[in-house]
């Protein structure tokens, strides 16, 4: 019997974790706009405002032991016996009589019972606010009165999370707080250049509080046994330097059967610089703004309404597409969890998770563009704004910074530069947005380069420059130069490193680097064809781009085809990478996926040959590995890839991001069984029964699953922040179910597994609602042969856009 840690509750759109000791902390995200946090199934995690590096509100220590300590902790204490415990299990780890964590869409609720006291804490960030609510409900299930103490606790981060983790000589002296009216304000650096504070408030009259960590915990103690909780009495400490915390103490007496509600609010408040002190010049924090917000959110009715509003916003968002297929794992992922993960990747890019510390990375240019492929349909207005932000960081050469900081929106080279695939993803993202919305006006929107005032050109020109960037950088085989790397960050063909610990991403990139990428060639073909479509939308012909795409496709066939699969690259010395000529790393998945996606060889059998090679050499029961055979030696000429042990990360793990490319490619060549088979292999819900092996959350995709040459084949890592989310949503909804927005309408082109009898779906598209049903005899593979709209057969499979507000009945028959 597989060990289970929980189950899905599809009706409530929740994953229910039923034991606290999951293989890894299973986390969720709070916040959808400006105030964010991660929260684990035992209440671990942290919060921040907009930028996890520059505006960290609470402290979290990564790679700590025991795992996942530091969070939003509540302690309960039975004042008669002195027994105390954590209703979220951590950090005291007292064995609870019952435990349940429900991770929902942007909220988490943890419930437990111990010593006859039932506790339920709901954590969420209300829409439109820069705060999080913890609503604690306590019920006395004993048959006598219970005298209890409730302690809250957070540890404040001194804003800059990077500095906070290293600069102790300063930071042990700067911490400040202000406690007023029962509210704990974290005011470090407010006296000088910061105009923002964090606050922590409680709905009940306080028996006490603490703000100095060592006073609350006691010397040499951890969060598992705070001295204040043990003795049942706060110290009333005021932090001067060291480590400011926030802890409230509330005493409650509950009659048998009585339930009480205690609300805690942790928030972020910014004051106008000229009015930051009250009275002016006093050095005392102006609290009027914060106090108003706090008093509102400490009211139970506000919390109930705010939570309802959050639930409704998710219902609306998920209304974009609802499917009913014969496969429960598909329905659950498409209707709930996959779009949710797309929102999270849209918000976080690759910055905040249990594997990304929020310090190292901002928003990745290539990553955020790909995230839009999954997100554009869900919230087009937000996608539009993001697209323009991304384009504003583009360089005048058409090139791109590899990342930008969300707070400043300015690009930087902190994690490297010169990844030659980067600019092309902007074209794909723009095309996806346009197909979804038809908003051609965005192409004329003036957008600066590198955020320089006065440099603006229409967005369309940015896309042209992105494509031109590749054409300006072709190598000896007329294939695109790779630069520092392409999508595969670890294929560093022009930057050799033999110095231990040196970053491959920032070490010197040879100026004369002539390594070429077949992957970028495929991506270029795709982008150039998309751009041709946009050119036509603006009344042009797009012919130049179509010709450039064809020329590149010819170069791929001439120099990028290895006989049975697409090659990966040519290295600095002109040697081929990803070929039967190599002893290791003979076949890579990326060019097989992307070249077929770009249409190379679809009409002459090359595409199916490449896909057959994928199946023979790369497919495993846990997904498709990135490369085979894995590199066992360190190849200085290949870069970071061979620095990973075989089977992990880019060195032959199932790097999940690439798998949907193969699914799409299989669908393009009409092989629905193969496409869906690959989809299921990495579908987290379908892997739920493997949780002991998989270890990561069963409700979201992970970046990687250890490959067949790894010691831990099948074990997932780096869950949540991965392009896998967007691409899988694209693969299953647009190519397997075949409901695909195009510039001129909604394409209905399913390529289903043979066993299915069809499916139904509701799709919102440009303001109209499409009720779609696809029917086919079970056992038959094939594409739709007849599509009708409101009962009338149409020519082909493209349903033209309907009037906003209307409902359209679409039927497709596969025969």
Residue numbers at the binding site for ligand GLC (CB under 6 A): 350, 364, 366-367, 487-490, 505, 640, 649-650, 703, 722
State the minimum distance, in angstroms, from the CB of residue 524 to ligand GLC. 16
Question: Nearest CA to 51 among 170, 159, 128, 176?
Answer: 159
Instruction: Provide CB contacts within 8 A for 653, sequence distance 6+.
Output: 625, 626, 647, 704, 705, 706, 707, 710
Q: Shortest Cβ distance from residue 391 to ligand GLC (Å)?
A: 18
Q: Is the CB of 130 or the CB of 718 nearer to ligand GLC?
A: 718
Q: Give the nearest distance from C-beta 364 to ligand GLC in angstroms.
A: 5
CA–CA distance, 416 with 335 (Å, rounded to integer): 37
Nearer to ligand GLC, 277 or 355 (CB): 355
Structural tokens at position 69: 């300590």
Written as six digits, the tokens of 693 are 């092996």
* CA proximity to 246, closest of 291, 191, 182: 182
Find the shortest distance in angstroms from Cβ 640 to ligand GLC. 6
Is the CB of 360 or the CB of 389 nearer to ligand GLC? 360
Closest CB 669 distance from ligand GLC, rounded Å: 25
Main-chain dihedrals φ then ψ at residue 794, nearest 5 degrees: -110, 165
Q: Which of 133, 136, 130 has the alpha carbon at shortest distance from 112?
A: 136
CB of 632 to ligand GLC, least distance (A): 18
Cis peptide before 149 (omega within 30 of 0): no
The maximal CA–CA distance of the chain, rounded, in angstroms, is: 84
List Cβ<8 Å contacts ≥24 apart for 385-390: 386/346, 387/426, 387/429, 387/430, 387/433, 387/442, 387/459, 388/442, 388/445, 388/447, 388/459, 390/365, 390/426, 390/429
Dist CA 120 CA 99 (whole Å): 10
Closest-CA residue to 636 (of 561, 700, 573, 722): 573
Tokens (6 digits) for 442: 């965005």
Q: How far is the CB of 372 from ligand GLC (least distance, A)?
A: 14
**Least distance to ligand GLC, CB of residue 726, Å:** 12
Task: Rank residues 141 and 414 by Cβ distance to ligand GLC and give the closer one.
Answer: 414
Residue 367 C-beta: closest distance to ligand GLC, Å: 5
Q: Is 479 exposed, middle or buried (0-12, 13-18, 19+ CB in 10 A)?
A: buried
Phi, psi angle pair for 225, to nearest 5°: -150, 70
**Rounded least distance, CB 492 to ligand GLC, Å:** 9
Q: How many CA atoms lie within 13 A of 258 on its CB side?
A: 12
CA angle, residues 646, 647, 648, in degrees to nearest 5: 100
Distance in angstroms (rounded) separating the CA atoms of residues 201 and 248: 8
Residue 246 or 364 with smaller CB distance to ligand GLC: 364
- Cβ closer to ligand GLC: 315 or 413? 413
- The residue (of 39 and 348) whose beta carbon lies closer to ligand GLC is 348
Assign residue 155 a region: left if phi > 0, alpha if psi is -120 to 50, beta otherwise?
A: beta
The 3-state DSSP class for residue 209 equals: strand
Buried b (16+ CB within 10 A) or exposed e, 41-75: bbbbbbbbbbbbbbbbbbbbeeeeeeebbbbbbbb
CB of 703 to ligand GLC, least distance (A): 5
What gap in Å lies between CA 73 and CA 160, rounded to an integer? 22
Catalytic residue among 489, 562, 571, 749: 489
Cβ closest to ligand GLC, residue 86 vs residue 369 = 369
The rounded distance, in Å, linking the Cα atoms of 633 and 52 is: 37
Closest CB to ligand GLC among residues 488, 797: 488
Tokens read off for 44: 């671990």
Q: Looking at beta carbons, which residue is closest to ligand GLC?
A: 489
Q: How far is the CB of 655 from ligand GLC (least distance, A)?
A: 7
Question: Could you give the count of Cα atoms lying within 13 Å of 454 in the half-sphere of its Cβ?
Answer: 0
CA 654 to chain centroid, in Å, comes to 18
Give the C-alpha separation, 124 to 30, whole Å: 6
Instruction: Examine the residue annotation and report whether 583 is marked as an active-site residue of this protein.
Output: no
- Our CB check for ligand GLC shows the closer of 247 and 403 to be 403
Minimum CB separation of residue 534 from ligand GLC in Å reads 24
Bridge partners, 269 (sequence order): 197
Token couple for 191: 């006296």
Identify the three-state secondary structure at position 8: strand
Cα separation of 542 and 458, whole Å? Answer: 17
Distance of CA 446 to the CA centre of its chain: 29
Q: At what angle do helices 518-537 and 422-437 cross, to 10 degrees?
A: 40
Residue 548 pairs in a beta bridge with none
By C-beta, is 721 or 748 nearer to ligand GLC?
721
Cα dihedral across residues 683, 684, 686, 690: positive or negative:
positive
Phi, psi of 689 (to 5 degrees): -70, -10
Q: Which residues are catalytic?
A: 489
């Amino acid at each position: 019997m597989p060990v289970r840690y929980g189950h899905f509750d599809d009706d409530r759109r929740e994953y229910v974790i039923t034991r606290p000791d999951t293989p890894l902390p299973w986390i969720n995200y709070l916040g959808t706009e400006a105030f964010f946090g991660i929260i684990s199934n035992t209440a671990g995690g942290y919060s921040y405002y907009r930028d996890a590096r520059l505006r960290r509100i609470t402290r979290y220590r990564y790679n700590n032991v025991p795992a996942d300590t530091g969070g939003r902790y509540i302690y309960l204490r039975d004042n008669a016996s002195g027994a105390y415990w954590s209703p979220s299990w951590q950090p005291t780890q007292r064995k609870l009589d019952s435990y349940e964590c429900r991770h929902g869409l942007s909220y988490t609720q943890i419930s437990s019972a111990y010593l006859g006291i039932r506790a339920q804490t709901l954590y969420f960030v209300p829409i439109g606010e820069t705060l999080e609510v913890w609503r604690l409900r306590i019920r006395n299930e004993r048959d006598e009165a219970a005298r209890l103490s409730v302690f809250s606790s957070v540890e404040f981060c001194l804003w800059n999370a990077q500095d906070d983790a290293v600069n102790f000589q300063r930071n042990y002296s700067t911490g400040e707080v202000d406690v007023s009216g029962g509210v704990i304000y974290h005011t470090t650096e407010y006296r000088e250049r910061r105009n923002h504070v964090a606050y922590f408030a409680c709905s009940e009259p306080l028996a006490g509080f603490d703000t100095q960590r060592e006073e609350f915990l006691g010397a040499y103690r951890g969060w598992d046994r705070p001295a204040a909780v043990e003795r049942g009495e706060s110290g009333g400490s005021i932090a001067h330097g060291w480590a400011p915390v926030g802890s409230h103490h509330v005493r409650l007496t509950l009659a048998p059967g009585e339930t009480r509600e205690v609300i805690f609010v942790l928030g972020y408040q910014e004051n106008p610089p000229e009015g930051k002190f009250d009275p002016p010049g006093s050095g005392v924090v102006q609290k009027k703004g914060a106090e108003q917000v706090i008093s509102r959110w400490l009211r139970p009715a506000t919390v109930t309404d705010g939570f309802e509003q959050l639930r409704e916003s998710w219902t609306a968002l998920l209304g974009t597409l609802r499917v009913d297929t014969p496969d429960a794992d598909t329905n659950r992922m498409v209707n709930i969890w996959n779009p949710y993960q797309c929102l999270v990747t849209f918000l976080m890019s690759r910055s905040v998770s249990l594997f990304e510390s929020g310090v190292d990375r901002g928003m990745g240019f290539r990553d955020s563009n790909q995230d839009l492929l999954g997100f554009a349909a869900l919230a087009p207005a937000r996608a539009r704004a993001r697209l323009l932000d991304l384009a504003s960081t583009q360089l005048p050469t058409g090139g791109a910074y590899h990342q930008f900081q969300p707070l400043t929106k300015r690009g930087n080279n902190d994690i490297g530069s010169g990844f030659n695939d980067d600019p092309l993803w902007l074209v794909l993202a723009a095309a996806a947005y346009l197909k979804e919305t038809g908003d051609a006006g965005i192409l004329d929107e003036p957008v600066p380069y590198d955020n320089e005032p006065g440099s603006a050109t229409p967005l369309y020109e940015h896309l042209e420059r992105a494509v031109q960037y590749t054409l300006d950088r072709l190598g000896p085989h007329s294939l695109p130069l790779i630069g520092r790397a392409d999508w595969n960050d670890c294929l560093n063909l022009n930057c050799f490193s033999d110095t231990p610990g040196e970053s491959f991403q920032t070490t010197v990139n040879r100026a004369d680097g002539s390594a070429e990428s077949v992957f970028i060639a495929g991506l270029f073909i795709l982008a150039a064809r998309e751009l041709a479509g946009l050119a036509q939308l603006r009344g042009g012909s797009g012919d130049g781009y179509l010709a450039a795409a064809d020329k590149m496709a010819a170069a791929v066939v001439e120099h990028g085809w290895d006989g049975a699969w697409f090659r990966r690259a040519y290295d600095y010395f002109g040697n081929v990478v990803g070929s039967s000529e190599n002893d290791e790393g003979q076949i890579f998945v990326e060019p097989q996926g992307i070249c077929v996606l770009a249409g190379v060889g679809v009409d002459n059998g090359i595409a199916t040959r490449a896909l057959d090679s994928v199946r023979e050499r790369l497919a495993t029961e846990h997904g498709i590995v990135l490369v085979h055979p894995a590199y066992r030696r360190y190849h200085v000429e290949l870069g970071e890839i061979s620095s990973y042990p075989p089977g992990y990360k880019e060195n032959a793990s199932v790097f999940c991001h690439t798998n949907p490319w193969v699914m799409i490619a299989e669908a393009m060549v009409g092989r629905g069984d193969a496409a869906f088979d690959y989809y299921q292999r990495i579908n987290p819900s379908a892997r739920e029964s493997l949780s002991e092996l998989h270890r990561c959350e069963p409700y979201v995709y992970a970046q990687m699953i250890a490959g067949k040459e790894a010691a831990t084949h099948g074990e997932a890592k780096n869950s949540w922040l991965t392009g896998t989310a967007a691409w899988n949503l694209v693969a299953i909804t647009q190519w397997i179910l075949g409901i695909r927005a195009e510039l001129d309408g909604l394409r209905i082109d399913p390529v289903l597994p043979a066993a299915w009898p069809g499916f139904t779906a509701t799709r919102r598209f440009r303001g109209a609602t499409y009720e779609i049903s696809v029917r086919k005899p079970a056992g038959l593979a094939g594409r739709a042969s007849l599509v009708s709209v409101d009962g009338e057969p149409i020519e082909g499979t493209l349903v033209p856009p309907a009037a906003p507000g209307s409902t359209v009945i679409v039927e497709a028959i596969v025969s």
